[in-house]
C-alpha cells in the first residue's frame, strides 16, 4: 500500500496536475505550462520510487527486512496530513498571486501539517504496540493540540460573530432577530441537556451545522463590510471646540445611562426655574451666587436639572492658565437627571490672569442668569 | 518511591506475531522520574504530604524569625521619643514587611504545614488528592516569599503598610519597586494558597477513611476545611485587587486615579473583602488545634462538637459580611456603618460559643497540664481578651476613637498572637512526637510557654494604654509633647512594650533551644502514644511510614482511637472506662493485616520547575518584559512536562537510589 | 493605684460630668479588679496626654464616651467572669487521679443558654450604638463650615464665607469677608457646631482630634464631614491617623477653641490688609528675600512686589503657584504664620517650650488672650525654625532624593532644600515675625 511518505509525493503530484490544468486553461502561456508539466512528471516519478522503497527504509533486495520493517509490519493508519500539506501548497501558491493573508494561512497550514505528520509518523512506529503508540501520541500532542485547537476555534467563532455584529444595522429588528437566535440556541441546548441519550454523531452534526452557519454568516458579513458607525467625541472635545451650547451634541447620547450618582461629592448644583443654586450634601441650606471650592484638588460636582428643558452645566476654567482646559462641560441632562463633573483648579481665583478672564464660573448655556461664581481661595 | 504500583510484566507484541521492533518506553517526560528516599533530592522533588508539611513548617519558622526581627527593630525604634534606630523610610518598610511576613509567610503557611501533615493522617488517607499540586503549592509559597523579601536588597521593600491603601501605593507616592515586589510576591503566594485550598477540599471530601462521616471528622480537619473554603473565595478577591495594583503601577492603568474619576475606596473594599475572611483564615486552624488538644488532656470529648463545627462554619460565613468594620472611619455614611457595626457584633456570638465550649470541655475533666495543654489554655485566655477588645471595636463610634491607634494593635495581636500563634505552638508541642519521633522537652517547654505568655502580655498589654492615650500606629517617632504624664505616660508604656518584646523573643529562643536539646544524640525516642490521644493520626508509627497506614483504618466513632483503647464497662448512667488495648497493640494489629497493594504517587521534577517560573515572571514584570516571556516559556515547558508525566512511574522508570536492589534491577 | 487616685481627684475638679461617669466605671472595676480591665478602665482617669481618648472636651466626643464606657465595662466584666471560670476549672479539675470522666458531648440546653446570653448582651449594645452613629452623622445643626484639605504632610483650612457675608456666624468688624486660609491649627468659636468638610489633594489622610470627635478619613475626590464642638477654650491636639507616606508621623493638627469675643478678634486680625515692613529694617530685606525664595509656593495675601523702587506703577501682586513646584499643588499660606504657634504640619512649635506651656496650660478664661498674642520675638522658637529653613527635608523626611521625584516630574513633596544663607535666614525670620 501507500507508505506515508509516498502520500505526500502523490498528493503533490495531483496538486501539480491540477495546477497545470488550471494554468493551462485559465492563464495560458507556453513556458509556464511546460514548467508545470515537468514538475508534475518529476513528482510522479519520485512518488513511484518512494512507494517501491518503502519510504527508503529498506533495501528492495532484502526480502526479510522488507517484510519486517516497522513501516511494513503494521499498516499505517489513515492520515489526513498529506492532504493537508497538499492543500497548504495550493493555498500558498494561490496566496502568492492574490492576498498575503491567504499566503500566511497556507504557511501556517504547512507548518502545522508537517508537524502533525512527523508526529504521526513517529508515533505509529514508536513500538509495535498500537495501543501504546496511541497513548504516547496523545500524551505528547494533546497538551499542545487541545489548547491550540480551542484557541483557533474560539478565535474563529469570535471573529465570525464580531463580523456579523459589525455588519448588521443597529435597529430593533436586529435585536429581535438575535433574540430569536438566542432563543433557538437556548431551546436546542435545553433539549440536548435533558435528552441524555442523544448520540455523539448527532451532536457533532449539530455543532458542525451551527459552526458552518456562524462561519458562513461571518464570511458574508465580513465581505459585506461594516455598517456605518458614528464617531463619538467626549464632552471634553466639544468643550475644547467651544461647542458646549444648548443644542444636542453626539456626546450627549445615552446621557441618562451614564453613571453619575457618585457619593461624597463636593456639592450638588441644581438648575431650577429660579436659577442655579447649590447645596452641600447633607446640609439643607440652599445657596446661590458663589461657591467656594478648594485649590489644586480634584472635586466632584453633581449637576441636577429640575427644569423642563434639557440642559448642561459648563465650568469656565479661565483659558489663560497653562495646562488646564478652558472649559469643561457635562452632557445634556434631562429633567430630573444628574451628571458628574470632576474639576481641578490649580490657580486661585484672585490670580490676575483669572480675573482678567472674568473669573471661574459655573453656568448653564441658554439660561440667562444661571451662573455661580467659583471662588478658589 | 519505595512502594509503587507495578505494571504488568508482559510486553505487548505486534499483533502480527512479528518480533517487537521497539520496546514500549513509558517515559514520556524529558526526565526520568526522581525517586530519592534520602538526601536533599528526596526533599526537593518530594510530593509526600508529610515532607511538604515539614518544609512548610520550617520555612514558616524562618520567616517567623525574620518577621520577629522586624518587630524588634520597630519596638526598639519606639522605645523612647524621637527614636533613631531606623529612619522614616526604613520604619515604614519595616512595619509593612513585618505584617506581610507574619500574616502571609508565617501564620498562614504554618497552618498549611499542619493541614498538610495532619489532615490526610486524621482522615485515614495515604496522601492528599493532588500530590504534585501540593508540592507546587509549597514551592510557589517559598519562591513568592523569597521574591517578596528580595526587595530589601533591590532598592527597598514595600512601604505602604500591609493594607497598601490606594492611592498611596501608586508609583508617584511609592517610587521604589517595593510595592511591585509586594504585589507580585503576594500574587505568587496567593497561587499557593488557592491550589492548596482546592487540594485539601477535594482530599477531605473524597478521601476520608471508610466510616468517617463528616460529623465523625476530627475537629482540626473540620476547621481546616472551613479555612480552605474561605481561601477559595477570598484569594480571588485579593488577586483581582493585586492585578489592578500591578496594572496601575506597571502599565499606567487608572483604577485608583482620582483625576480620572476613580474612587480610592475601591481598593479598601476589595482589600477588606479579602482581609476580613483572612482574619478567620489565620485564626481558625489554631481553633482546630486547640479543640483537638483540650479533649485529649481533659480525657473528655469536645463539648458540643456539632456546635463547635457549626460555629466554625458560621464564623466562616458571617466573616464575609463584616469587612467594612475596618472602614468605620473611611466615611462610608451612617447607614453602612450602622449595619456593619451590628453585623460585627453578631459574629461575636459564634466566637463566644467556641470559648464557652472549650471551657466546658475542661469542666469535669481529668486535666493534665502538659506544655501543649498550657498553650491551649493560653489561647483561651489570651483570645478572650482579644475578643472582648474586639467587641469594643464593633461599637462603631467608639471604634472611630480607637482605630489606627495602638489600641487596635493591641487587639489584633491578642487575637493573632494570642489566638493563632499560641495555638500553632500548642500544635507544635502536641504533634512534635508524631512528626519527628522525639518528644520536645517538657521543662524547657514550660519555660518557653511562660516566657511567651509574660512577654506577649508585656508587649501587647501596654499597647491598650498607649492607644487609648491617643498614640496612632505606623508613626516612626512619637514625641514627648503628646506623651502625657503620670501613670499613663506613653513613654513608660512604650518602654514596657519594648522590654516585653525582648522577653517574647527569649521565649521563642527557648523553643529553638528546645528543638536542639530534644534532638541531641541519645535522646529517647518518643512513645507511640505519648498523650493518650484520641484521633486517627496516632494509629500510625512515629513518624508515620511513607504510606501512612499499613491498612486504611475503618472508623466507627468520633475520637476513634480513644474508643479502640477504652471500653465503658459501666451500666446505665454509671460509666467506668477501662483500657482494653495499648497503642502498640492497635498498631501491631493494623500492621498484621497490611494492605497488599499500596498505590502511592511518584515524585516529580515538574512542580518545583513550574513554581520557579513564577518569580522569574515576577522579576520580568518589574524589570524586563523579555524576562517575563522567558519565565512564561519555562512555565509552558513545565506544564507540558507535567502533563506528559504519568501519575505513577513504573518500576523501571526512575533513578533508583544507589546501591539498592532496585538499582541492580533497573540496570542489571 | 494611689497615683491614679490622685488623678481622679484632679479630673473631678476640672470636669465634674466626666468624673461622675468615671467613678461609676471605677466602682465596677474595683469589684472586678483584674489586670486587663483595670488597665483599660484606668486610662479613663488619665493625666494629661493631649490625645487621651477618654477625656472628651466636646459634645461629640462626649456622645462617644457615653457609649464606650459602658461597653468597656461590660466587656471587662465578661472577661473577668470567663477568666475566673477558667481559673476555677484549672484548679478544680487537675488530674488528681480521678476516674476517666463520662465521654459526653454536652447538654443542648446549656449550649443554647450560652448562645442566648451573648446575643442579649450584644443586642443591648447594638441599639445605642446605632443611635450614636446616626446622631454623629447629623448635619442639620451646623453653625459654621470650615473646609479642611489634607496633603503630604500638613492640613490646610479654608473658612467658608457664608451667603450672608459672615464666617462661622461672625461678621467682620470692618470691610468684607474673604476666605481665610490657614494651616496647622484651626481656630473655632466655643459653643458653636462646626462642620469640617474634608478632602485630600494626594493620598488618604485622617482627621482626628480625640477630645472633640472620632477620626474621619479625608479621601481625594470625596468630601467627608466631621463635627467639632467644644464649650471650653483651649488647644486640642490631634494627629493624622491614616498612614499617608514617609512623614505620616509628622502630620499633626491642633484645634484651637476661642471664646466668641476672642474669635471675633482673631477673625478681624485675619482679614486685616497686608502691612509691608518699615523701610530699612531687616524685615524689609526679608520681604525681598521672601519674594525671591518663598513666594513661588507660599502665598502671603496682599503681598506686593514693589521691585525695590518708590515708583508704584510697576508694582505687582505676588501670587504663588505651588502647583508648578509641589506635587500636591499647595503650600501653607503664611499670611498670619505667627498668629498660630506651630509650623511644618504642626510638628514643631513656633513657641519656646516655656511660652508653649504657658499657652497650653492656660485656664479657659485666660487662654484667648494668651493665644491671640501670637508669637513674640521673646517667645520665638528660633532653633527649630532655623533648622527648618536651613534644610527642611533633613528635619522632616520628604522624599528629597531627586531620583525618587522622577514620577512627579521633579515636583517636590513637601518643602525642598533651598540653600539659604544664614543672612537670608535672619532676614526671613525677621520678616516672618511680623506675619500675625
All residues at 6 or more sequence positions from B87 whose CB lies less than 8 Å from its CB, including other chains: B476, C397
Q: Of the ranges A273-277, A356-360, C426-430, which one carries the lowest mean pLDDT score?
A: A356-360
Query: Is C199 in Cβ contact with A297 (below 8 Å)?
Result: yes
- Is the predicted pLDDT of residue C157 greater than 50, yes or no? yes
Of A299 and B655, more confident: A299
Query: Is B381 in Cβ contact with C83 (below 8 Å)?
Result: yes
Of B359, B369, B484, the CB nearest to C46: B484
Mean pLDDT of all residues in C116-144: 93
Q: Which three cell numbers stand for residue A204?
A: 457533532
Share of chain C above pLDDT 90, in %: 69
Does one domain contain both B294 and B381? yes
| Secondary structure class of C104 (helix, strand, coil) | coil
For residue B13, give how far its alpha carbon lies from the nearest alpha carbon of chain A (Å): 6
- Is the predicted pLDDT of residue C164 greater than 60, yes or no? yes
User: Per-domain residue ranges for chain A?
Assistant: 154-227, 238-375
Task: Say how far apart CA A363 and CA A328 lie, in whole Å.
Answer: 11
Q: What is the pLDDT of residue C14?
A: 43
pLDDT-derived band at C9 (thresholds 50, 70, 90) equals very low
B-proximal residues of C, 157-196, CB under 8 Å: none
Query: Is C216 in Cβ contact with B329 (below 8 Å)?
Result: yes
pLDDT digits (tens, 9 = 90+) for C236-258: 999 999 999 999 999 999 999 99
| Secondary structure class of B545 (helix, strand, coil) | strand
Chain A residues closer than 8 Å to B640 by CB: 143-144
Of A128, A130, A140, the CB nearest to B28: A140
Q: What is the pLDDT of residue A334?
A: 85
Query: Is B301 in Cβ contact with C104 (below 8 Å)?
Result: yes
Does one domain contain both B413 and B554? no
Subunits close to A (at least 3 CB pairs below 8 A): B, C
Letter string b/e over residues B81-112, b meaning 16 or more CB atoms within 10 A of that residue's CB: eebebbebbebbbbbbbbbbbbbbbbbbbbbb
Chain C residues closer than 8 Å to A277 by CB: none
β-pairing, C205-207 vs C194-200, is unpaired
Query: Is A280 in Cβ contact with C197 (below 8 Å)?
Result: yes
Helix axes B88-100, B131-150, angle to 10 degrees: 170
Does one domain contain both B577 and B626? no
Of C158, C222, C322, the CB nearest to A377: C158
Q: Which CATH number fits domain A238-375: 3.40.50.970, 3.30.450.20, 3.40.50.1370, 2.60.40.420?
A: 2.60.40.420
pLDDT digits (tens, 9 = 90+) for C273-294: 999 999 889 999 999 999 999 9
Q: Which chain A residue has the Cα nearest residue B645?
A: A139
Give the distance, in angstroms, between the CA of residue A141 and the centroid of all CA atoms in the same chain.
28
For residue B259, give how far its alpha carbon lies from the nearest alpha carbon of chain A (Å): 6
Q: What is the pLDDT of residue A321?
A: 57
| Secondary structure class of C151 (helix, strand, coil) | strand
Q: What is the pLDDT of residue B77?
A: 96
Of A296, A298, A375, the CB nearest to C323: A296
- Is the predicted pLDDT of residue B558 greater than 80, yes or no? yes
Given B489, B518, B547, which residue is the final one in a domain? B518
How would DSSP label each residue in C51-67?
Answer: T-TT---SHHHHHHHHH
Question: B146 lies in a domain?
Answer: yes
- Is the predicted pLDDT of residue B482 greater than 60, yes or no? yes
Q: What is the pLDDT of residue B400?
A: 95
Half-sphere exposure of B395 (CA within 13 A, CB side): 32
Residue A344: which of A320, A312, A370, A374 has the closest Cα? A374
CB B50 within 8 A of CB B113: no
Question: B396 lies in a domain?
Answer: yes
Task: Say how far apart CA C108 and CA C88 lie, in whole Å.
Answer: 23
- Is the Cβ of C145 closer than 8 Å to some Cβ of chain B? no
Beta bridge mates, B33: B654
Counted domains in chain B: 3
Mean pLDDT of all residues in B275-292: 95
Letter string b/e over residues C390-411, b meaning 16 or more CB atoms within 10 A of that residue's CB: bebbebbbbbbeeebbeebeeb
Task: Say how far apart CA A375 and CA B130 lie, in whole Å.
Answer: 66
Q: Which helix (H) or strand (E) holds B655?
A: strand B654-655
3-state secondary structure chain A: CCCHHHHHHHHHHHHHHHHHHHHHHHHCCHHHHHHHHHHHHHHHHHHHHHHHCCCCCCCCCCHHHHHHCHHHHCCCCCCCHHHHHHHHHHHHHHHHHCCHHHHHHHHHHHHHHHHHHHHHHHHHCCCCCHHHHHHHHHHHHHHHHHHHHHHHHHHHHHHHHHHHHHHCCCCHHHHHHHHHHHHHHHHHHHHHHHCCCCCHHHHHHHHHHHHHHHHHHHHHHHHHCCCCCCCCCCHHHHHHHCCCCCCCCHHHCCHHHCCCCCCCCCEEEEEECCEEEEECCCCCCCEECEEECCCCCCEEEEEEECCCCCECCEEECCCCCCCCCCEEECCCECCCCEEEEEECCCCCCCCHHHHHCCCEEEECCCCCCCEEEEECC
Range of the domain at B651: 33-39+601-667
Query: Is B362 in Cβ contact with C93 (below 8 Å)?
Result: yes
Chain C residues closer than 8 Å to A300 by CB: 221-222
| Secondary structure class of C158 (helix, strand, coil) | strand
- Is the predicted pLDDT of residue C154 greater than 80, yes or no? yes
Alpha helices (H) along B523-571:
560-565
pLDDT digits (tens, 9 = 90+) for A2-36: 666 777 888 888 888 888 888 777 776 777 778 78
Q: What is the pLDDT of residue B21?
A: 34
CB C53 within 8 A of CB C210: yes
All residues at 6 or more sequence positions from C316 whose CB lies less than 8 Å from its CB, including other chains: C304, C305, C307
Helix axes A100-124, A130-167, angle to 10 degrees: 160
Q: Of the ranges A134-148, B147-161, B350-364, B510-524, which one carries the lowest mean pLDDT score?
A: A134-148
For residue A313, give how far its alpha carbon lies from the nearest alpha carbon of chain C (Å): 19
Domain C141-436, second-level architecture: Sandwich (2.60)
Q: What is the pLDDT of residue A25?
A: 76
Q: Can you count the helices (H) and strands (E) in chain B?
A: 21, 4
Q: Which chain B residue has the Cα nearest residue A145?
A: B640
Q: What is the pLDDT of residue A256?
A: 66
Mean pLDDT of chain C, nearest integer: 87
- Is the Cβ of C48 closer than 8 Å to some Cβ of chain A? no
Question: B23 lies in a domain?
Answer: no
- Give the mutation candidate from A125, A129, A261, A341 for the B interface (greatest B CB count, under 10 A): A129
Task: Say how far apart CA A299 and CA A345 lie, in whole Å.
Answer: 9
Does one domain contain both B421 and B549? no
- Is the predicted pLDDT of residue C272 greater than 80, yes or no? yes
CB A4 within 8 A of CB A79: yes
Query: Is A300 in Cβ contact with C222 (below 8 Å)?
Result: yes
pLDDT digits (tens, 9 = 90+) for A109-124: 999 898 888 888 777 7
Mean pLDDT of all residues in C380-407: 88
pLDDT digits (tens, 9 = 90+) for A126-183: 666 677 777 778 777 887 788 888 998 899 889 998 888 888 887 777 888 888 889 9
Q: State the sign of the Cα–Cα–Cα–Cα dihedral B465, B468, B471, B472.
A: positive
pLDDT digits (tens, 9 = 90+) for B416-433: 999 999 999 999 999 999
pTM of the model: 0.85
Question: B10 lies in a domain?
Answer: no
Q: What is the pLDDT of residue A141?
A: 80
Of A283, A288, A351, the CB nearest to C139: A283
Chain B residues closer than 8 Å to A298 by CB: 258-259
- Is the predicted pLDDT of residue B637 greater than 90, yes or no? no
Beta bridge mates, C158: C147, C181
| Secondary structure class of C215 (helix, strand, coil) | coil
Query: Is C223 in Cβ contact with A296 (below 8 Å)?
Result: no
Preceding omega of B458 cis (within 30 degrees of 0): no
Query: Is A377 in Cβ contact with C221 (below 8 Å)?
Result: no
Chain B residues closer than 8 Å to C39 by CB: 461, 464-465
Task: Say how far apart CA B189 and CA B238 lie, in whole Å.
Answer: 11
User: Per-domain residue ranges for chain C?
Assistant: 2-92, 141-436
Of A288, A289, A296, the CB nearest to C328: A296
CB C281 within 8 A of CB C212: no
Of A130, A139, A264, the CB nearest to B331: A264
Query: Is B16 in Cβ contact with A73 (below 8 Å)?
Result: yes
Subunits close to B (at least 3 CB pairs below 8 A): A, C
> Nearest 5°: phi and psi at C340?
-105, 160
Of A261 and B321, more confident: B321
For residue C268, give how far its alpha carbon lies from the nearest alpha carbon of chain B (Å): 31
Of B466 and A65, more confident: B466
CB B134 within 8 A of CB B52: yes
Distances in Å between the Cα of A49 and the Cα atoms of A3, B545, C82 are: 11, 64, 96
Task: Say how far apart CA C266 and CA C332 lie, in whole Å.
Answer: 18
The residue to which cell 462561519 is assigned: A215
Of B87, B173, B470, the CB nearest to C51: B470
Mean pLDDT of chain B, nearest integer: 89
Exposed / middle / buried, residue C324 (Cβ in 10 Å: 0-12, 13-18, 19+): middle
Distances in Å between the Cα of C242 and the Cα atoms of B164, B342, C152 are: 11, 24, 12
Q: What is the pLDDT of residue A2?
A: 62
B-proximal residues of C, 207-226, CB under 8 Å: 208, 210, 213-217, 219-222, 224-225
Q: Of the ranges B124-128, C197-201, C308-312, which one carries the lowest mean pLDDT score?
A: C308-312
Q: Of the ranges A202-211, B380-389, B494-503, which one carries the lowest mean pLDDT score?
A: A202-211
Query: Is C321 in Cβ contact with A263 (below 8 Å)?
Result: no
pLDDT-derived band at B81 (thresholds 50, 70, 90) equals very high
Alpha helices (H) along B437-539:
442-468, 490-518
Chain B residues closer than 8 Å to A127 by CB: 12, 20-25
Task: Say how far apart CA C111 and CA B353 lie, in whole Å.
Answer: 8
- Give the mutation candidate from C35, C36, C77 for the B interface (greatest B CB count, under 10 A): C36
Chain B residues closer than 8 Å to C248 by CB: 92, 474-476
- Is the predicted pLDDT of residue B31 greater than 80, yes or no? no
pLDDT-derived band at C47 (thresholds 50, 70, 90) equals low
Does one domain contain both B651 and B568? no
Amino acid at each position: 500500500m501507500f507508505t506515508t511518505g509516498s502520500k505526500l509525493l502523490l498528493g503533490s503530484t495531483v496538486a501539480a496536475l491540477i495546477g497545470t490544468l488550471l494554468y493551462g486553461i485559465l492563464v495560458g502561456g507556453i513556458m509556464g505550462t511546460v514548467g508545470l508539466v515537468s514538475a508534475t512528471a518529476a513528482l510522479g516519478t519520485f512518488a513511484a520510487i518512494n512507494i517501491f522503497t518503502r519510504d527508503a527504509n529498506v533495501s528492495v533486495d532484502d526480502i526479510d527486512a522488507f517484510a519486517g520493517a516497522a513501516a511494513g509490519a503494521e499498516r499505517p493508519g489513515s492520515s489526513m496530513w498529506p492532504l493537508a500539506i497538499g492543500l497548504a501548497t495550493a493555498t500558498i501558491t494561490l496566496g502568492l498571486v492574490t492576498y498575503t493573508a491567504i499566503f500566511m494561512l497556507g504557511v501556517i497550514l504547512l507548518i502545522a501539517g508537517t508537524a502533525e505528520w512527523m508526529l504521526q509518523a513517529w508515533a505509529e512506529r514508536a513500538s509495535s504496540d498500537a495501543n501504546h503508540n496511541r497513548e504516547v501520541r496523545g500524551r505528547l500532542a494533546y497538551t499542545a493540540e487541545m489548547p491550540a485547537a480551542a484557541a483557533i476555534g474560539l478565535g474563529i467563532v469570535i471573529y465570525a460573530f464580531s463580523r456579523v455584529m459589525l455588519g448588521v444595522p443597529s435597529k430593533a429588528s436586529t435585536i429581535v432577530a438575535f433574540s430569536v437566535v438566542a432563543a433557538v440556541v437556548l431551546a436546542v441546548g435545553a433539549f440536548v441537556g435533558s435528552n441524555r441519550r442523544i448520540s455523539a454523531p448527532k451532536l457533532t452534526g449539530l455543532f458542525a451545522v451551527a459552526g458552518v452557519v456562524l462561519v458562513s454568516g461571518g464570511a458574508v458579513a465580513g465581505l459585506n463590510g461594516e455598517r456605518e458607525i458614528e464617531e463619538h467625541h467626549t464632552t471634553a472635545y466639544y468643550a475644547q471646540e467651544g461647542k458646549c451650547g444648548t443644542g444636542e451634541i453626539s456626546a450627549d447620547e445615552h446621557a441618562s445611562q451614564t453613571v453619575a450618582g457618585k457619593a461624597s461629592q463636593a456639592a450638588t448644583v441644581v438648575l431650577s426655574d429660579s436659577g442655579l443654586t447649590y447645596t452641600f450634601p447633607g446640609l439643607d441650606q440652599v445657596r446661590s451666587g458663589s461657591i467656594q471650592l478648594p485649590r489644586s484638588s480634584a472635586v466632584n460636582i453633581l449637576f441636577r436639572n429640575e427644569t423642563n428643558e434639557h440642559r448642561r452645566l459648563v465650568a469656565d476654567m479661565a483659558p489663560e492658565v497653562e495646562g488646564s482646559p478652558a472649559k469643561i462641560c457635562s452632557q445634556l441632562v434631562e429633567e430630573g437627571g444628574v451628571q458628574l463633573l470632576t474639576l481641578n483648579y490649580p490657580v486661585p481665583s484672585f490670580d490676575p490672569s483669572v480675573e482678567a478672564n472674568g473669573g471661574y464660573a459655573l453656568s448653564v448655556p441658554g439660561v440667562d442668569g444661571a451662573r455661580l461664581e467659583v471662588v478658589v481661595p | 518511591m519505595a512502594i509503587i504500583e507495578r505494571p504488568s510484566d508482559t510486553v505487548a507484541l505486534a499483533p502480527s506475531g512479528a518480533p517487537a521492533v521497539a520496546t514500549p518506553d513509558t517515559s514520556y517526560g524529558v526526565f526520568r522520574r526522581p525517586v530519592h528516599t534520602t538526601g536533599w533530592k528526596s526533599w526537593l522533588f518530594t510530593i509526600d504530604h508529610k515532607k511538604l508539611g515539614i518544609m512548610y513548617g520550617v520555612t514558616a519558622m524562618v520567616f517567623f524569625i525574620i518577621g520577629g526581627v522586624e518587630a524588634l527593630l520597630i519596638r526598639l525604634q519606639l522605645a523612647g521619643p524621637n527614636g533613631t534606630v531606623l529612619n522614616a523610610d526604613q520604619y515604614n518598610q519595616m512595619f509593612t514587611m513585618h505584617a506581610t511576613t507574619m500574616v502571609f509567610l508565617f501564620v498562614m503557611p504554618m497552618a498549611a504545614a499542619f493541614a498538610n501533615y495532619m489532615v490526610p493522617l486524621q482522615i485515614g488517607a495515604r496522601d492528599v488528592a493532588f500530590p504534585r499540586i501540593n508540592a507546587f503549592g509549597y514551592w510557589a509559597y517559598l519562591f513568592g516569599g523569597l521574591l517578596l523579601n528580595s526587595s530589601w536588597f533591590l532598592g527597598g521593600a514595600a512601604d505602604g503598610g500591609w493594607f497598601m491603601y490606594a492611592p498611596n501605593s501608586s508609583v508617584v507616592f511609592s517610587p521604589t519597586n517595593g510595592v511591585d515586589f509586594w504585589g507580585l510576591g503576594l500574587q505568587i503566594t496567593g497561587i499557593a494558597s488557592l491550589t492548596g485550598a482546592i487540594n485539601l477540599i477535594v482530599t477531605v471530601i473524597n478521601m476520608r477513611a471508610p466510616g468517617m462521616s463528616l460529623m465523625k471528622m476530627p475537629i482540626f480537619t473540620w476547621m481546616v476545611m472551613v479555612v480552605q473554603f474561605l481561601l477559595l473565595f477570598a484569594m480571588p478577591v485579593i488577586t483581582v485587587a493585586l492585578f489592578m495594583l500591578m496594572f496601575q503601577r506597571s502599565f499606567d492603568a487608572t483604577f485608583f486615579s482620582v483625576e480620572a474619576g476613580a474612587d480610592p475606596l475601591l481598593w479598601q473594599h476589595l482589600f477588606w473583602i479579602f482581609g476580613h475572611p483572612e482574619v478567620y483564615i489565620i485564626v481558625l486552624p489554631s481553633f482546630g488545634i486547640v479543640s483537638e488538644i483540650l479533649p485529649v488532656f481533659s480525657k473528655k470529648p469536645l463539648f458540643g462538637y456539632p456546635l463547635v463545627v457549626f460555629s466554625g462554619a458560621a464564623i466562616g460565613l458571617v466573616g464575609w459580611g463584616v469587612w467594612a468594620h475596618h472602614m468605620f472611619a473611611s466615611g462610608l455614611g451612617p447607614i453602612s456603618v450602622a449595619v456593619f457595626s451590628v453585623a460585627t457584633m453578631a459574629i461575636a456570638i459564634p466566637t463566644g460559643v467556641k470559648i464557652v465550649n472549650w471551657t466546658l470541655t475542661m469542666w469535669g475533666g481529668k486535666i493534665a497540664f502538659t506544655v501543649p495543654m498550657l498553650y491551649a489554655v493560653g489561647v483561651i485566655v489570651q483570645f478572650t481578651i482579644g475578643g472582648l477588645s474586639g467587641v469594643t471595636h464593633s461599637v462603631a463610634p467608639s471604634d472611630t476613637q480607637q482605630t489606627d491607634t495602638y489600641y487596635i494593635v493591641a487587639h489584633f495581636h491578642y487575637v493573632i498572637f494570642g489566638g493563632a500563634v499560641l495555638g500553632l505552638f500548642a500544635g507544635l508541642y502536641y504533634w512534635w512526637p508524631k512528626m519527628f519521633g522525639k518528644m520536645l522537652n517538657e521543662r524547657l517547654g514550660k519555660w518557653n510557654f511562660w516566657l511567651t505568655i509574660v512577654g506577649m502580655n508585656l508587649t501587647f498589654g501596654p499597647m491598650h494604654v498607649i492607644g487609648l492615650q491617643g498614640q496612632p500606629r505606623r508613626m516612626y517617632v512619637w514625641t514627648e509633647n503628646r506623651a502625657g504624664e503620670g501613670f499613663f505616660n506613653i513613654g513608660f508604656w512604650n518602654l514596657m512594650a519594648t522590654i516585653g518584646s525582648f522577653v517574647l523573643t527569649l521565649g521563642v529562643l527557648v523553643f529553638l533551644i528546645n528543638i536542639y536539646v530534644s534532638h541531641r544524640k541519645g535522646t529517647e525516642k518518643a512513645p507511640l502514644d505519648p498523650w493518650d490521644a484520641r484521633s486517627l493520626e496516632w494509629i500510625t508509627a512515629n513518624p508515620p511510614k511513607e504510606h501512612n497506614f499499613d491498612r486504611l483504618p475503618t472508623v466507627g466513632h468520633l475520637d476513634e482511637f480513644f474508643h479502640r483503647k477504652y471500653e465503658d464497662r459501666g451500666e446505665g448512667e454509671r460509666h467506668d472506662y477501662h483500657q482494653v488495648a495499648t497503642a502498640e497493640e492497635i498498631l501491631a494489629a493494623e500492621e498484621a493485616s497490611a494492605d497488599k497493594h499500596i498505590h502511592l504517587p511518584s515524585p516529580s521534577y515538574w512542580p518545583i520547575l513550574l513554581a520557579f517560573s513564577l518569580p522569574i515572571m515576577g522579576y520580568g514584570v518589574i524589570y524586563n518584559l523579555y524576562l517575563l516571556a522567558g519565565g512564561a516559556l519555562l512555565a509552558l515547558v513545565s506544564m507540558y512536562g507535567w502533563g506528559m508525566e504519568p501519575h505513577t512511574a513504573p518500576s523501571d522508570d526512575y533513578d533508583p537510589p544507589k546501591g539498592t536492589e532496585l538499582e541492580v534491577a533497573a540496570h542489571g | 493605684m494611689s497615683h491614679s487616685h490622685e488623678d481622679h481627684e484632679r479630673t473631678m475638679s476640672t470636669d465634674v460630668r466626666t468624673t461622675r461617669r468615671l467613678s461609676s466605671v471605677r466602682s465596677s472595676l474595683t469589684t472586678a479588679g483584674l489586670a486587663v480591665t483595670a488597665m483599660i478602665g484606668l486610662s479613663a482617669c488619665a493625666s494629661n496626654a493631649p490625645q487621651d481618648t477618654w477625656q472628651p472636651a466636646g459634645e461629640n466626643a462626649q456622645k462617644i464616651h457615653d457609649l464606650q464606657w459602658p461597653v468597656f465595662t461590660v466587656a471587662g466584666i465578661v472577661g473577668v467572669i470567663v477568666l475566673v471560670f477558667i481559673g476555677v476549672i484549672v484548679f478544680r479539675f487537675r488530674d488528681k487521679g480521678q476516674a476517666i470522666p463520662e465521654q459526653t458531648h454536652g447538654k443542648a440546653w446549656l449550649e443554647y443558654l450560652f448562645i442566648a446570653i451573648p446575643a442579649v448582651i450584644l443586642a443591648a449594645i447594638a441599639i445605642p450604638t446605632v443611635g450614636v452613629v446616626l446622631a454623629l452623622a447629623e448635619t442639620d445643626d451646623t453653625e459654621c463650615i470650615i473646609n479642611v484639605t489634607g496633603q503630604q504632610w500638613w492640613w490646610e483650612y479654608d473658612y467658608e464665607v457664608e451667603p450672608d457675608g459672615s464666617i462661622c456666624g461672625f461678621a467682620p468688624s470692618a470691610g468684607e469677608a474673604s476666605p481665610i486660609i490657614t494651616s496647622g491649627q484651626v481656630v473655632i468659636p466655643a459653643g458653636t457646631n462646626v462642620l469640617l468638610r474634608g478632602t485630600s489633594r494626594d493620598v488618604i489622610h485622617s482627621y482626628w482630634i480625640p477630645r472633640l470627635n472620632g477620626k474621619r478619613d479625608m479621601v481625594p475626590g470625596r468630601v467627608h464631614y466631621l463635627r467639632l464642638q467644644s464649650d471650653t477654650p483651649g488647644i486640642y491636639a490631634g494627629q493624622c491617623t491614616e498612614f499617608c507616606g514617609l512623614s505620616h508621623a509628622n502630620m499633626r493638627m491642633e484645634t484651637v477653641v476661642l471664646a466668641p469675643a476672642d474669635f471675633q478678634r482673631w477673625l478681624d486680625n485675619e482679614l486685616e490688609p497686608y502691612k509691608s515692613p518699615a523701610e530699612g529694617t531687616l524685615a524689609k530685606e526679608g520681604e525681598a528675600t521672601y519674594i525671591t525664595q518663598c513666594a513661588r509656593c507660599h502665598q502671603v495675601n496682599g503681598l506686593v512686589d514693589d521691585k525695590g523702587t518708590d515708583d508704584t506703577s510697576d508694582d505687582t501682586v505676588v501670587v504663588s503657584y505651588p502647583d508648578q513646584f509641589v506635587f500636591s499643588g499647595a503650600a501653607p499660606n503664611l499670611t498670619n504664620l505667627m498668629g498660630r504657634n506651630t509650623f511644618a504640619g504642626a510638628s514643631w512649635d513656633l513657641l519656646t517650650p516655656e511660652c508653649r506651656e504657658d499657652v497650653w496650660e492656660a485656664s479657659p478664661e485666660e487662654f484667648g488672650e494668651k493665644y491671640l498674642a501670637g508669637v513674640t520675638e521673646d517667645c520665638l522658637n528660633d532653633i527649630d525654625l532655623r533648622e527648618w529653613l536651613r534644610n527642611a527635608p533633613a528635619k522632616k523626611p520628604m522624599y528629597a532624593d531627586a531620583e525618587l521625584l522622577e514620577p512627579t516630574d521633579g515636583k517636590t513633596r513637601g518643602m525642598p532644600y533651598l540653600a539659604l544663607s544664614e543672612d537670608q535666614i535672619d532676614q526671613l525670620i525677621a520678616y516672618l515675625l511680623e506675619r500675625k
